[in-house]
Structure 1
Amino acid sequence: MRRRGNLIAHAVLAVCALWIALPLLWVLHLSFLPETQSNSLDLPTAVTLENYVKLLVEDRFWRAAANSLAAASLSTLLALPFAATLGYALARYRSSGQAGRFLLLLLQLLPPIAMVLPVVALFMVAGFTDPMGGLVLAYAAVNLPFLTWVLIGFFERVPAELEWAAMSDGATAWGAFWRIALPVARPGLAVAALSGFILAWNEFLFALVLTDGESETIPVALTNLQSRAEVPVAELSAGIVLGVLPMLGVLALLRHHLLHGRTFGAIR
């Protein structure tokens, strides 16, 4: 009976996994088709790398990839220290109670369209005209509440007794945070860094409004492949596949910390 229950559970999970993976597999399938067959449901009669070659030989795609990498990396590096200190303060001192945490979550739930116009207005008033610098600042500010929310849970799992022991030996509160809490919560920092990178890499609206042709990111560059007369489905699919690869690379680099983060705090 128990074995039958396990088989049913695994079957349900397999169906759910296939349901999630099917759009990605379909995009991968389309990326290898000629453009003339991309809108057909018939079995493909040819497989080609032309869509990938067409993108990779263009300087525009490489420039957009470099812009996406710079914006995602720099905004994450900028937001992470603030998220770590704020998350630690909210987890350890509970200075704002549940209301502060709810406010963080509420800020993250705001639609991007409600924030992009005030951000543009602030940049215009301040005379800030650098597209890439503005994009980095916008991403860091928008992602800060979510990264803080992620880190609160990890800092709450750090035993406070470790910090008390350090402070009893003469460490300051900052020293206990820097030497004890941060190293112990390293898996949480990896999770937050990966989350911030993915959010910034996939973001579209701020990049559309704040960037120009020289500073556009991959989502904007792929959108610009379309025209009123044509939507190159196969080429867009190849661009989506290429756009996913850097995120898989970052995931592979942080895999050890992410696996550690799943069980972090289970044994204290």
Structure 2
Amino acid sequence: MPRLGTILRHAILIGFSAAIVLPLLWVLRVSLTDKLTAYKIPPEIGRVSFDNYVEVFTNYDFTSWFSNSLFIAFVSTALSLPAATMMAYSAARFRTGGSPLLIAVLASQMLPPIVLVLPLFLVFTTLLPVSGHVSIIIAHIAINLPFMAWMMVSFFEGETRSLEEAARTDGATRWQAFTRITIPVAVPGILAAGLLGFILSWNEFLYALILSDHGSQTLAVGLASLETHAGVNIAPLAAATLLALAPVLVLLPFLQKYLIKGLSLGALK
């Protein structure tokens, strides 16, 4: 007979899993029903239909939203990751800025996004007159880069430090030790930070709403536009939401081992 503690742990895990999975199953059900059935309470399972998915592509500019989000998230992550890696390495090896800087970086992530929207808007309309994709990418880099750097600091401490010192003793330069020893060992942490940076950029709404124009609207902004004067068009919105989750669901199985190893390594140090 299983002990009470084991049963309780499993019950808690099942509860947390249900809290995550059930909303997704609900959205899936709504996306596969007609618009009348989608609003019914208690819910009914009607005829399975893919009309909502067809409507998303035919009646809305979903392809443009998707490509804009993919481009912005990829470019902002690709530009942020090398800089964040160098910043994290500098903080771990040379204690650049010391603990106050790391605390300040962490504290900056606690600011409500609305606080930074007006300064960024003024910067992009006066000092740096850019708009569209460029302004959103710069905003995402400015917001995500400190978090990614702070997250990677712990990956450049511990075993990477001792391995790098051993390479330096054998005659390697600091740059050679960094590129040939430290970076390969820290790959799980770098990939974990990059994945989280991509997801944060992919899901970001407020900055994209304020800084985007008609040609650079992201998925988050586009999904918000599915609300009409008659209310939320819930069935196409459910279909578009599942399609918006597709890149993350595709990436996670390939990067799961790196993400878990990276996050657990950072938590243990």
Partner SS state of residue 159, structure 1: helix
Superposition pairs of residues 29-40 of structure 1, within 5 angstroms = 29-40=29-40
Q: Structure 2 counterpart of 1:169, which letter?
A: D
1:158 Cα deviation (Å)?
A: 3.4
- Asked if structure 2 preserves the Cα contact closer than 8 Å seen for 1:203 and 1:219, the reply is yes
Q: What residue is the counterpart of 1:100 in the other structure?
A: 101
1:73 Cα deviation (Å)?
A: 0.4
Partner SS state of residue 227, structure 2: coil
After alignment, is 194-203 or 151-160 more displaced? Answer: 151-160
Aligned-partner Cα distance in 2 for 1:127–1:99 = 30
Q: What residue is the counterpart of 2:129 in the other structure?
A: 128
Superposition pairs of residues 75-224 of structure 1, within 5 angstroms = 75-224=76-225
Residue 15 (structure 2) pairs with residue 3 (structure 1):
no
Q: What residue is the counterpart of 1:24 in the other structure?
A: 24
CA RMSD, Structure 1 to Structure 2 (Å) = 2.2
Q: Structure 2 counterpart of 1:167, which letter?
A: R
Q: TM-score, normalised by structure 1?
A: 0.92
1:137 Cα deviation (Å)?
A: 1.0
Shift in CA distance, 46/59, structure 1 to aligned 2, threshold 3 Å: closer
Q: Structure 2 counterpart of 1:249, which letter?
A: V
Aligned-partner Cα distance in 2 for 1:145–1:252 = 26
1:57 Cα deviation (Å)?
A: 3.3
Shift in CA distance, 59/223, structure 1 to aligned 2, threshold 3 Å: closer
Shift in CA distance, 245/157, structure 1 to aligned 2, threshold 3 Å: farther
Aligned-partner Cα distance in 2 for 1:149–1:242 = 31
Q: What residue is the counterpart of 1:54 in the other structure?
A: 55
Partner SS state of residue 254, structure 1: helix
Alignment length, in residue pairs? 268
Partner SS state of residue 57, structure 1: helix
Aligned-partner Cα distance in 2 for 1:145–1:118 = 18
Aligned-partner Cα distance in 2 for 1:59–1:11 = 42
List structure 1 runs of 4+ shifted beyond 6 angstroms: 265-268
Residue 75 (structure 2) pairs with residue 74 (structure 1):
yes
- Asked if structure 2 preserves the Cα contact closer than 8 Å seen for 1:158 and 1:185, the reply is no
Deviation readout 1:65-96 (Å, 9 max, x if unpaired): 00000000000011111111111111222232
- Asked if structure 2 preserves the Cα contact closer than 8 Å seen for 1:87 and 1:149, the reply is yes
Shift in CA distance, 80/267, structure 1 to aligned 2, threshold 3 Å: closer
Q: Structure 2 counterpart of 1:18, which letter?
A: A
Deviation readout 1:108-158 (Å, 9 max, x if unpaired): 111111111111111122343231011111101100111012101222243
Shift in CA distance, 101/116, structure 1 to aligned 2, threshold 3 Å: same
Aligned-partner Cα distance in 1 for 2:146–2:265 = 22
Q: Structure 2 counterpart of 1:25, which letter?
A: L
Shift in CA distance, 36/266, structure 1 to aligned 2, threshold 3 Å: closer
Q: Which runs of 5+ in 1 are unaligned?
A: none
Partner SS state of residue 109, structure 2: helix
Aligned-partner Cα distance in 1 for 2:235–2:84 = 40
Partner SS state of residue 230, structure 2: coil
Aligned-partner Cα distance in 1 for 2:103–2:265 = 24
Q: TM-score, normalised by structure 2?
A: 0.92
Q: Structure 2 counterpart of 1:24, which letter?
A: L
- Asked if structure 1 preserves the Cα contact closer than 8 Å seen for 2:84 and 2:145, the reply is yes
Q: Structure 1 counterpart of 2:8, which letter?
A: I
Aligned-partner Cα distance in 2 for 1:245–1:71 = 16
Aligned-partner Cα distance in 2 for 1:144–1:33 = 41
Q: What residue is the counterpart of 2:231 in the other structure?
A: 230
Deviation readout 1:19-50 (Å, 9 max, x if unpaired): 23222221122111211122212323322211
- Asked if structure 1 preserves the Cα contact closer than 8 Å seen for 2:73 and 2:202, the reply is yes
